[in-house]
Chains A and B, each alone.
Chain A
Amino acid sequence: MEKEEPLSQLTGKTWDDSAVRCRKVPQNIPVVSKDKNSPTHGHVSEDDTQPSNGSYTQDSASHHHYVSPSKVLLVLVVGLSFSTRLYKIKEPPHVCWDETHFGKMGSYYINRTFFFDVHPPLGKMLIGLAGYMTGYNGTFPFIKPGDKYEHHNYWGMRGFCAVLGSFLPVFAYLIVLELSHSHTAALITATLLIFDTGCITITQYILLDPILMFFIMAAVLSMVKFKQQRYRPFAASWWLWLVLTGMSLAGALGVKFVGLFVILLVGLNTAADLWRILGDLSLSLVDFGKHFLARVLGLILLPLFLYVTIFTVHFAVLNKSGPGDGFFSSAFQSRLIGNNLHNASMPEYLAYGSTITMKNLRIAGGYLHSHWHLYPEGVGAKQQQITAYLHKDYNNLWLVHRPNKTQSGSPDLVRHGDLIRLEHKETTRNLHSHVHEAPLTKKHHQVTGYGINGTGDANDLWQVEVCGGHKGDLVKVLRSKVRLRHRATGCVLFSSGKILPKWGWEQEEVTCSPYIKETPSSQWNIEDHFNPKLPNISISILKPNFLEVLVESHIVMIRGNSGLKPKNSEMNSKPWHWPINYQGLRFSGVNDTEYRVYLLGNPVVWWTHLFSLALYLLMVSVASLAIQRGLPLAAKRVEHARVLKSGGGLLLLGWLLHYVPFYTMSRILYYHHYFPAMLFNSMLTGITLDILLKSADLLLRPPYCDWLFRFGLMVLLLAVLYSFYLFHPLSYGMMGPLSHEPGSSMAGLKWLASWEF
């Protein structure tokens, strides 16, 4: 009695499921076999209506569970959604917030200039394409927020984002309809999204978020549709939705890495689906293998192929040197037209007296760098900092000297095993190391800049070693992997990749590692090489193949992403702020004379979301308890419980996957990161409130409970509309005094002191 174990729970659950599923089968079809999922003809004709083609059969019309989208409602949703998003799309006619980044990157695509960004390229490519198609020529510099666009054609890019953003309420409507088979639930969801000021604002500007959310919602919609096709596997529509799911996943991941969360959601769902098919003993293992392979093809290989294609296009389009070069290896840079390594010409072998830059060979390794700043008190010896820096800069230049100061006339070549002294050109300090703990990697020694005008001490001597070389080998520029071994302590110059704190200008740490290992972190190559006394020779570098480029750019992106640490300002937003709509983001304008746009969710909508989240948990636990205890329930309640558990469960999982991971992230976070999660939350709200209102008959007798249902619905819709009327200036722009002053258009609406409008 007391010894129930997980499995009995599991089996119990499948039985419940089957019971529910049996109930779905219409009365006139006798349930013949025990296997519920076998694609018998009866099931196919009964259960599958094709909402997309709009024609529904007599059977399904009589069957109240399956509802195809009502055309009137759908048209209404589409119309409202597009009109709210496209209204005042050109306002304000200046750069707002992150448009300065993404607009600029769109321009880079039009100009074909290489740049570096922490996000994958699809979103910016689409923005660039939209701009290109609408006659923007890529000349606007997007220097800082607030710059006037003047004659430049910016509306095309904004309009593109807004159009994609307008699909969100439509997709949400269709998803909820599919999951709950209830027009009311779908309508509630669509209303909440259409009239949410936050959702409007974030989709009206040149940002990645509308594109990302479009793909996320498209992926969820096609996944849900695909699930509905399960009674006719391998049919054309089955394949269609599978392929659409895969394409949307690739799109989501191609815009931002946040797309991984929706991939996880689809992945978990697919795994559960496969597990169900595996348990269906009427299917042979070969059938299971087919199902499995189809999903591998549609949900793994196809997205992967598309994702790689995106990068192929990215690298093919961007072929000119630009601001992002320094983040990449020397070999990579040689691909870019205009880079000094493109068809480079320089002295071939390293010589004494040369001016050089050294780049670390780990992926996304920086240039050996120094500047006029000392290590602070308490961090080793208080000498000049040596760092690794990702940008090209004159502070990356070093002079190669012999150990003793005498400069011989003719430039001798440096050989493997030679002792050299590296002098920082700008500050005339020598590269120096000694037995002190390095600032971050405590197991390594500190590296400093020491001495004046090139005179230092014995700790400034480094032995040049070419990896795989022998004594006397020459050091090839660009092609040799060089290791610098400290003469006195025997450690090697090492770039740990860790970011120094503020005192080190957030550049990367350089240490001297006593552990001699063949790692790229301790290998450097000589990238620039100037020596007036030697002839320049054209050097062709081994061009990297596409796979190497792909891997390298990903590692650079991931590094860049984790490098975005919050600064010590109070502006950083915490994940718990988001669902309670604690604080928004200023998109444009600060003072009362400026045109102000403030990204903030409609508080009535957002707090309804929060409330329904709690309500959902309560309702689903009551329902599960009732079922687990075996209480006799009416068929309607069982259906409600099923919708809550499976449909709501899917949405709750989506919400959790798009929200919880932010708690573990150490990078800087913004309010707008919550919007994908908010979409899931609003769909959950639709389902929850619908079922809550439909359960009114628990309280009242039949005629009155319908009245209560309608009344509740009206109150909800009116409240949303009225609050939208109140808060719409947040999205469509405010002028005049700030809200805490009387006479403002938002007077009295600053409900939380933390809102800044």
Chain B
Amino acid sequence: MLQLPLVVTAHIDVLLLVLSALSLWTRLSHLSSPRAVVFDEVYYGQFVSLYMKRVFFVDDSGPVLGHMILALGAYLGGFDGNFAWNRIGAEYPSGVCVWSLRLIPAICGALCVPLGYLLTLELHCSHLSALGAAVLLLLENSLIVQSRFMLLESVLIFFLLLALYSYLRFHNGVHSPTLRYAWLLLCGVCCGAAVGVKYTGVFSYLLLLGVASLHTWNLIGDRTVSHVSHRMFQRINKVLTNQRRADSCVCMCVQLSVCVQCVCRAVCLLLVPVLLYVFWFYIHLSLLKHSGPHDQLMSPAFQSSLQGGLSRITRGQPMEVAYGSQVTLRSSASQPMPCWLNSHRANYPIRYENGRGSSHQQQVACSPSKDVNNWWIIKDPHRRGLTVDRPPRPVRHGDVIQLVHGTTSRLLNSHDVAAPISPQAQEVSGFVDFNVSMTAQDLWRLDIANREAESESWKSISSEIRLIHVNTSAGLKLSGSALPAWGFHLMEVVAEKHFRADAVSFFWTVEEHRYWTTEGPAGADGGSQLEDKQTHRSVSFWTKFTELQRKMLTVKQEETEHKYSSTPLEWITMETNIAYWMDKSSNAQIHLIGNPVSWGVANLSLLAYHIIVSVYLVRRRRGFRDLTEAAWQHFVCVGCVCVGGWMMNVLPFLLMEKTLFLYHYLPALTHLHLLTPALLEHTHNHLLSSLTHQRALRVCAAVALLLILCSYWFFSPLTYGCPELSANQLQVLRWRNSWDFLLRRQ
């Protein structure tokens, strides 16, 4: 019921407002300059374009939400996707709304500053410390650079900070359970989003899970809370009926039983992020309907679910492969390039370069291009004809077949002759009878690997088959090596005896499929009279999701060192910078380079925290209680969030073999910047007893802030790309020899 008079009381933290304004100003001013592609924009941009055109793609570098967020910005700015993202430094055409491309990351980056402020407050630090933390984040050149372009780190950091903040709100909360669990739900959502933006978000998510499970464990040990309580419902009823007792909420949150609380936490922190992660893929797959450049990475079944591409070819083709069918056989192992079983009018050379002999029969290989030589006809060894009966006789698992090459009519053959490149395996050839007592060994047994019944028929697209050579029981295999010039650099195909059940290089799939019955053509060219004609194949979302996810995690791009790549240990000392952009005609340039003073301060406080905490621990163990229990808990909590966050975001990279860049360090750095003010406050309140020392510390902190401001100002030309610096000025800024600045020769 409405209470009159209507009074609105608002508490406005002016500090927070000012910080937000400054932060927006540093991140958003002149957002569309430079009007050129900056660093990894060239990479993310192509995916944004593909989103605009709704063309399917696979990106193994990260999950889909990040790309979608960038695409949203482009969509709002009316970007049509018609821009060739071909090189860094290319000018955007006038039609492209550059600031809209960069707006969302910039806003996320700007919001990190007030979030840092709030987070420090939530860690039970004073407003002054919170201000310090926010200023450190505000004046961090590297965070500014990374926020101002179409890149994902700022979005990731935003979600990470928000997740931590909302978890602490939940943990510290004295509100009603509903509100507290709303915060926890928000935390779960942010975790899901962070992991959806970049896989590196997992590290902070794990930290959060660790802290949350520790808290839950303590809750379980709390014997004042009931196991499974009926009183809770009584309480709720009481509260509902008795509106006056507003403060009974506090009482009730104690009374929520252990089971209910644990289940709630598990749902919010485990189930929600996982579901959200899947949900991003659901959006991704429902947005991207058209076939595109990465189709070939996916299985034929997946491809045929996309519009255009393979589905156009395979639509309407018969499902079951019958005797007399004409098929193309695609190898399942050929990654990233697809290839099809191929033969052509050329024989194996009589002698190879290394002196070994061959059968000199017709070459069989795997061709990466689609051409007419990829067609094979399935033949029944007991019959002569190559046409399909009416009704067609399907080929089943275990049947013995022959494969006739379409253009040359040679039979697929294998024999005890060493293969050209892999001599431990058998050669596969199109049989030519030279009358040299080499008889044809052209019978193959069909082995459907993903069969459900023993008499399963061979289906195009969906059946994964092996062809087992009857005489030698060797399997037809893509060896993975390429033939030399005499084999036109096609991929080598061999038959190998010893194979493992799951070895993917033995698997083949029928991709295109057609046949002629005695009356006329059926299949792709018309043949609507056939009943088993397949219409649009529907592949369930789960199948597509698991396949896409597996591809993203297993597709390995070539590991090469980048000119600006660096190792985790170099990040701590900021050994390298990254050149992001340089003007076409002048020395104006943008670099990813941190604020050296605040990095130094952050490293110092990291070291100081470790020393202080170990001294405390040892002294506590020996029975000296230097701190009150509350102060100690507070100190540990700060360490968990800041130092723990830093470690979780650095240590895993040490084990990684990926090409790493300085920007991978930014989430860790953000955690570290939160540590410094909290540590100073602790030193001030607990370690320094005399007033003079405290004053000295305050002065030191103020001087440090001033220095940080100065160095921010100093390096801002490299952050914003203007004004242009002369060669001498650049030389002055080059504080470390390992930094690389660019100089245009005059």
Give A residues with C-beta under 8 Å from B: 1-9, 12, 275, 278-279, 281, 285, 440-443, 568, 570, 583, 590, 625, 628-630, 664, 666, 752-754, 756
Contact = CB atoms under 8 A, between A and B. Distances in A.
Contacts of A753: 500-502
Nearest to A4: B218
Interface in B617-650: 618, 621-623, 629, 632-633, 636-637, 640
27 contacts: A1-B224, A1-B225, A2-B171, A2-B219, A3-B171, A4-B215, A4-B219, A5-B218, A6-B636, A6-B640, A7-B629, A9-B218, A9-B221, A12-B221, A278-B618, A279-B621, A281-B622, A281-B623, A441-B561, A442-B563, A568-B480, A570-B500, A570-B505, A583-B500, A666-B657, A753-B500, A754-B501
Contact of A442 (B560, B621, B640): B560
Interface string B82-122: 00000000000000000000000000000000000000000
A1 B560 contact: no
B382 to A, nearest CB: 26
Contacts of A625: 220
Interface of B: 171-173, 214-215, 217-225, 227, 253-254, 258, 480, 498, 500-503, 505, 560-563, 618, 621-623, 629, 632-633, 636-637, 640, 655, 657
A372 B349 CA distance: 23
B221 A7 contact: no
A5 B637 contact: yes
A4 B221 contact: yes
Contact of B633 (A5, A590, A629): A5
A275 B621 contact: yes
Contacts of A441: 561
A442 B637 contact: no
A629 B563 contact: no
Nearest to A275: B621
B503 A570 contact: yes
Contacts of A756: 498, 500
A756 B253 CA distance: 60
Nearest to B225: A1
A442 B562 contact: yes
Contacts of A2: 171, 173, 219, 253
Given A583-B500, A754-B502, A664 B655 contact: yes
Contacts of A590: 498
A417 to B, nearest CB: 25
Contact of B621 (A6, A278, A628): A278
Given A6-B640, A570-B500, A629 B657 contact: no
Nearest to B620: A7
A592 B502 CA distance: 23
A397 to B, nearest CB: 25
Contacts of B655: 664
Q: List the 7 closest A-B pairs by CB distance, nearest first.
A: A4-B218, A753-B501, A5-B633, A628-B221, A664-B655, A279-B621, A442-B561
B122 to A, nearest CB: 13
Contacts of B221: 4, 9, 12, 628-630
A287 to B, nearest CB: 12
A128 B160 CA distance: 58
Given A278-B618, A442-B563, A754 B633 contact: no
A131 B380 CA distance: 62
B214 A6 contact: yes
Contact of B214 (A9, A285, A443, A664): A9
A650 to B, nearest CB: 21
A441 B172 CA distance: 50
A630 B220 CA distance: 9
B223 A630 contact: yes
A590 B497 CA distance: 11
B622 to A, nearest CB: 7
A440 B561 CA distance: 6
Given A278-B621, A443-B563, A1 B214 contact: no
A75 B242 CA distance: 76
Contacts of B217: 9, 628
Given A4-B219, A7-B633, 4 more contacts: A9-B214, A583-B500, A753-B500, A754-B500
Given A4-B222, A7-B633, A9-B221, A440 B621 contact: no
B483 to A, nearest CB: 16
Nearest to B640: A6
B362 to A, nearest CB: 27
Contacts of A6: 214, 636, 640
A666 B559 CA distance: 13
A259 B219 CA distance: 40
A756 B227 CA distance: 53
Contacts of B258: 629
A630 B561 CA distance: 56
A226 to B, nearest CB: 22
Contacts of A440: 560-561
B500 A628 contact: no
A664 B501 CA distance: 26
A630 B637 CA distance: 26
Contacts of B560: 440, 442
Contacts of B618: 278
Contacts of B501: 752-754
A284 to B, nearest CB: 10
Nearest to B211: A6
B335 to A, nearest CB: 12
A8 B498 CA distance: 59
A303 B224 CA distance: 51
Contacts of A285: 622
Nearest to A568: B480
A666 B655 CA distance: 10
Contacts of A630: 221, 223
A285 B622 CA distance: 9
Nearest to B502: A754
A278 B618 CA distance: 8
Given A570-B500, A664-B655, A628 B220 contact: yes
B235 to A, nearest CB: 15
Contacts of A666: 657
B480 to A, nearest CB: 6
Contacts of A8: 218
Contacts of B621: 275, 278-279
B622 A278 contact: yes
Contacts of B637: 5
A752 B223 CA distance: 50
A301 B657 CA distance: 34
A6 B498 CA distance: 55
A629 B223 contact: yes
Nearest to A569: B480
Contacts of B500: 570, 583, 753-754, 756
Contacts of B503: 570
Contacts of B172: 3
Contacts of A5: 218, 633, 636-637
Contacts of B225: 1
Nearest to B250: A1
B270 to A, nearest CB: 16
A3 B124 CA distance: 13
Contacts of B171: 2-3
Contacts of B173: 2
A5 B561 CA distance: 44
A752 B501 CA distance: 9
B27 to A, nearest CB: 31
B558 to A, nearest CB: 9
Contacts of A3: 171-172, 633
A4 B218 CA distance: 6
Nearest to A583: B500
A275 B614 CA distance: 12
- Give the one of A2, A278, A590, A630 with max B CB within 10 A: A2
A9 B218 CA distance: 7
Nearest to A501: B558
Contacts of B498: 590, 756
Contacts of B657: 666
